[in-house]
Each structure stands twice: as C-alpha cells, then as structure tokens.
Amino acid sequence: MRIVLLPVGKVNRKALNAVRDGLTIVFPRAVCELSEGVLGVPRNSYNASRRQYSSTRILLEILHYAEKKETPADQTARFLGVTEVDLYVRGLNFVFGEAQCPGKAAVISLHRLRPEFYGAPGNEKLYFERALKEAVHELGHTFGLRHCPDPACVMHFSLHIGMTDRKQSDFCRICRIKLERAV
C-alpha cells in the first residue's frame, strides 16, 4: 500500500519530510512518498468572509488528483493533502483536517500547528509531532476508523491543540487491531 503526501499550495518541505518519515514508522507496511506534483489551492475553496478554505472542496480536488494519478494496480493508495492554509467545515470555527471515512483522500492543515500561532516560542520538534498526529489521524479515517474515546489514542478527536498534544502519534491497541483488519 502506498501513502502519497501531496502538497496543496506552498508547503514547508522540512515539515513534509518529517511527516513522511513519521508515517513510515506508524504504517510500517506502507510505502510513504512525496508526490511529484503539487496541487494548487483550489480557488473555489476560499471563503472571503471567513478568510478560510473549505476542507471539503480541497478534499474533492485531492480525490480528482488521485484518480488521475492512480494506476490499476494501485487502487489502495491513500493521498494525504498537506496545506498551510487555514481550513474549515461548515458549523466549526476551524478543522485540523478532514478525510473520507473510508476512502482514499485526506487533508491536513499545518496552519494551527506551529507553536507561534498560539503566541508560544517556535519549536520545530513539537510542530512536526503535531503534524504527524494529524496526518495519522486523518489517514486512520481513510481506513474506516472512527473517533476513539481513549484520549491518548491518535484517533481521539482534537477540538483544540491541547488535545492534540495530549495524544500520541500512534493507534491504541483496539484501533490498531481495526486498522490491521482494514489494510
């Protein structure tokens, strides 16, 4: 199985590499790679009054990209869009990411993961850890996993960054079993 990281707009290269390296540990049987192409941030995803981007519209574009790039032998690949723009879905102030559940497309935003966003000093290690957690979480959804009640499990829902920091970047025992059945 392949996991393809697809930059959506201009994205910090070092963060992309850090997420890819982390994913190879959490998904040891997957081949994790950066896509050759970059997806432009879809114009129709921007909401001027919110100054945010619709994650659902971006997700659709990732899916189109995936369908064009996939070979018949490659139907199980997952495409994880990574963007620096701030994402929202209707009814929520923001989202860290969104995914098909199950499906082949997911997206995460790095926008709210930098400590500087919260007025804290820069911390690259923390920033990359958060990015990995959000990436694993959304990919978990693509394998059909739903939110987990265990606050330490990566599939626990993060309402704010404190909840992301509280969880680990890996699946709890029960979610890991569900994942193994799905892949």
Catalytic residues: 138
Instruction: Write out the H or E segment, with its range, that includes residue 59.
Output: helix 55-69
Say if residue 102 is preceded by a cis peptide, omega within 30 of 0: yes
Helix-helix angle 124-142:13-26, to 10 degrees: 50
Nearer to Zn ion, 82 or 153 (CB): 153
Q: Is 107 in the site for Zn ion (CB under 5 A)?
A: no
Question: Nearest approach, Cβ of 73 to Zn ion (angstroms)?
Answer: 30
How many chain residues interact with Zn ion (CB under 5 A)? 6
Q: Is 105 in the site for Zn ion (CB under 5 A)?
A: no
Give, as ranges, the residues between 141 and 160 that touch Zn ion (CB under 5 A).
148, 150, 153, 155
Q: Is 172 in the site for Zn ion (CB under 5 A)?
A: yes
Nearest to 161 by CA among 127, 136, 123: 127
DSSP structure class, residue 45: G
Q: Is 136 in the site for Zn ion (CB under 5 A)?
A: no
Query: Are the C-beta atoms of residues 169 and 130 closer than 8 Å to each other?
Result: no
Residues of the shown chain interacting with Zn ion in the complex, contacts defined by CB under 5 A: 148, 150, 153, 155, 172, 175
